Amino acid sequence: MPETANRTNLLGLNPAALEAFVVGLGEKPFRARQLLTWIYKRRVGDFAAMSDLGKEFRARLASVAEVRVPEIASEHASADGTRKWLLKAGEFAGRAQAIETVFIPEPGRGTLCISSQVGCALDCSFCATGAQGFNRNLETAEIVGQVWLASRALGTGALGERAITNVVLMGMGEPLANYKNVLPALELFMDDRGFDLSRRRVTLSTSGLVPQLYRLAEDTNVALAVSLHAPNDALRDQLVPINKRHPIKELLAACWHYLEAQNGRSITFEYVMLDGINDQPEHARELARLLVGHDAKVNLIPFNPFPGTAYRRSATETIGRFRDYLNTHGVTATVRRTRGDDIDAACGQLAGQVQDRTTVRLGSKTMTVAVHA
């Protein structure tokens, strides 16, 4: 379908907004449910094919609406089943932009790691996305479109089981810095008329925008992952600069508030393992003291290096000792698995900006797999 500026992209509307849109066209509200079924359950975007809608309504829809997903710039498949899509995200200062979406299959689970912004403004010192700077927020339709595209590409298994069982906002960007567009996408992921994923299977990862965390507790109940990465403010100020505005104490208060509002669901704290920086025994001790007694888990992420970074990944034994210390001191800790080095992708470390139409700058050669309970 040719793209027009004045057509409404239905992927950008949550169920309530879609109903209002349909009513605005003079149709009965239940038509919205039919549309949602076609779009999200059958993954059909062509109105002409929506056979239980009246011909006139279909023609009207075709003139005022569309189901438009980002265009695929390139697609990569790993020998281990990991898939990655580089999606076009318009142009900025005359240069083509792209975002990345990664599918990570594991036994009994398929996780889609999606992006929320083109680049990121928060400039964490160990992050490839931060290093490329911030271009713009993704539209709701571009966020939802990543899941739509991937679920259409991946289809369902022989028994009708879905390829995508989990969605994590751990790709490019800080989702809470794009709150307005991310929230309707979360609703569509969890609504039974949309992608119908349980709230435990949709995870938002944030570096800690405290005011938005309080808003999130009011507005939704997704699983929360928080990028802590350091157990004290002096160190976190260096690694995650937003800490200077929202220090650890305030961040944790917002986290415990979120837990309370969400009926005691546990929060995952992400902690990138940087050799000699934040991986020492005293850091493990400090971290345990911060989290013990709370419904919190720690996910240790072996650092994925990228061109130009001065950091190195902690040794495997160091990571193991750090994990063991936490586990024996009352804080559940796991280590993310790294795999998929035959396609350049790293969930949480993506730099999909297309520098020109033929050369693509990607993250590291390794892939970090999110492990979510």
Residues found near ligand SAH in the complex (CB under 6 A): 120, 124, 126-128, 170, 174, 205-207, 227, 270, 272, 301, 303-304, 348-349, 368
Orientation of helix 210-219 relative to helix 248-261, angle to 10°: 0
* Helix or strand holding residue 77 (H, E): strand 72-77
Nearer to ligand SF4, 29 or 133 (CB): 133
Partner from ligand SF4, ligand SAH, none binding residue 170, C-beta < 5-8 Å depending on class: ligand SAH
Task: Give the binding site for ligand SF4 (CB under 6 A).
Answer: 120, 122-124, 127, 129-130, 173-174, 207, 227
Partner from ligand SAH, ligand SF4, none binding residue 178, C-beta < 5-8 Å depending on class: none
**Closest separation between CB of residue 70 and ligand SAH, Å?**
18
Which of 28, 49, 27 lies closest to 38, judged by CA?
A: 49
Q: Tell me the residue nearest to ligand SF4 as measured from the CB.
A: 130
Partner from ligand SF4, ligand SAH, none binding residue 304, C-beta < 5-8 Å depending on class: ligand SAH
Nearer to ligand SF4, 11 or 169 (CB): 169
Query: Which residue is catalytic, options 19, 100, 139, 142?
Result: 100
d(CA 321, CA 96): 44
d(CA 206, CA 226): 5
Burial readout 50-86 (b: 16 or more C-beta within 10 A, e: otherwise): beebeeebeebbeeebbbbbbeebeebebeeebbbbb
**Closest separation between CB of residue 89 and ligand SF4, Å?**
15
Overall size of the chain counted in residues: 373
Nearer to ligand SF4, 65 or 122 (CB): 122
Output DSSP code: residue 235: H
Query: Which residue is catalytic, options 124, 127, 255, 347?
Result: 347
Partner from ligand SF4, ligand SAH, none binding residue 298, C-beta < 5-8 Å depending on class: none
Partner from ligand SF4, ligand SAH, none binding residue 301, C-beta < 5-8 Å depending on class: ligand SAH
d(CA 102, CA 8): 27
Two structure tokens written together for 78: 């790993």
* Helix or strand holding residue 119 (H, E): strand 117-119
Partner from ligand SF4, ligand SAH, none binding residue 123, C-beta < 5-8 Å depending on class: ligand SF4
Nearer to ligand SF4, 133 or 330 (CB): 133
The residues, any chain, with a CB within 8 Å of residue 355's CB and separated by 6 or more, are 95, 361
**Closest separation between CB of residue 131 and ligand SF4, Å?**
8
Whether 251 and 267 have beta carbons less than 8 Å apart is answered as no
Whether 205 and 111 have beta carbons less than 8 Å apart is answered as no
- Side-chain-side CA neighbours of 165 within 13 Å: the count stands at 14
**Closest separation between CB of residue 351 and ligand SF4, Å?**
10
CA dist list (Å): 305 to 271, 301, 308, 314, 350 = 15, 12, 9, 11, 11
255 counts as catalytic: no
Phi, psi of 119 (to 5 degrees): 80, -170
Nearer to ligand SAH, 103 or 303 (CB): 303
Partner from ligand SAH, ligand SF4, none binding residue 366, C-beta < 5-8 Å depending on class: none
Nearer to ligand SF4, 39 or 176 (CB): 176
**Closest separation between CB of residue 32 and ligand SAH, Å?**
32
- Side-chain-side CA neighbours of 352 within 13 Å: the count stands at 33
Q: Tell me the residue nearest to ligand SAH as measured from the CB.
A: 348
**Closest separation between CB of residue 289 and ligand SF4, Å?**
24
**Closest separation between CB of residue 207 and ligand SF4, Å?**
4
Nearer to ligand SF4, 22 or 131 (CB): 131
* Residues annotated as catalytic (active site), given as ranges: 100, 347
